[in-house]
């Protein structure tokens, strides 16, 4: 899928300058407690499924959309895990973004995990005890989901 059209249009005007964007990411668990991850095509690293909300899009449905678009997995959002500022992130093409990430815990409802667009090289379910290398923020998000007590995480 790549960047949403509204970002492509903004980038034509501002180049690689920093953007502040609404992001979503989810820790998706299957019935066996495994976590859904994608190997990103832009960086080659494994990560939680993430996305950028479209203008006016609600975060929960936007996250459900992103997960399906990238993995062909249908999920149900169970909890708001937290909200965090992430960045700056510099992408391989030179674009710089900071994200207001809205994080969720979700559960698998249906679908077999597979690469469903051009944003991932691979997708799959991983045992929590056998995760591939992840960026620190993604690993911390999984750890927060595993320890979730009903209280969303955010800086106070």
The one-digit pLDDT tens for each residue of the chain (156 residues) are: 567 889 999 999 999 999 999 999 999 999 999 999 999 988 889 999 999 999 999 999 999 999 999 999 999 999 999 999 999 989 888 999 999 999 999 999 999 999 999 889 999 999 999 999 999 999 999 999 999 999 999 998
Q: How far apart are the C-alpha atoms of 51 and 122, rounded to whole Å?
A: 16
Q: How far apart are the C-alpha atoms of 42 and 76, rounded to whole Å?
A: 27
Topology adopted by domain 5-151: Nucleoside Triphosphate Pyrophosphohydrolase (3.90.79)
Q: How far apart are the C-alpha atoms of 74 and 33, rounded to whole Å?
A: 16
Residue 110 burial class via C-beta count within 10 angstroms: exposed 0-12, middle 13-18, buried 19 and up: exposed
pTM above 0.95, yes or no: no
Structure tokens at 27: 């820790």
Domain ranges of the chain: 5-151
Instruction: Tell which phi-psi region holds residue 72, choosing left (phi > 0), alpha (psi between -120 and 50) or beta.
Output: left
């Amino acid at each position: 899928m790549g960047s949403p059209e509204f970002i492509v249009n903004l980038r034509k005007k501002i180049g690689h300058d920093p953007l502040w964007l609404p992001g979503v990411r989810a820790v998706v668990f299957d019935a066996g407690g495994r976590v859904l991850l994608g190997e990103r095509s832009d960086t080659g690293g494994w990560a939680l499924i993430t996305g950028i909300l479209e203008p006016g899009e609600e975060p929960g449905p936007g996250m459900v959309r992103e997960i399906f678009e990238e993995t062909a997995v249908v999920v149900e959002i169970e909890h708001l895990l937290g909200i965090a500022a992430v960045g700056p992130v510099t992408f391989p093409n030179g674009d710089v973004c900071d994200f207001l990430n809205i994080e969720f815990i979700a559960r698998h409802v249906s679908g077999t995990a597979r690469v469903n667009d051009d944003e991932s090289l691979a997708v799959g379910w991983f045992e929590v005890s056998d995760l591939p290398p992840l960026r620190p923020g993604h690993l911390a998000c999984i750890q927060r989901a595993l320890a979730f007590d009903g209280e969303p995480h955010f800086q106070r």
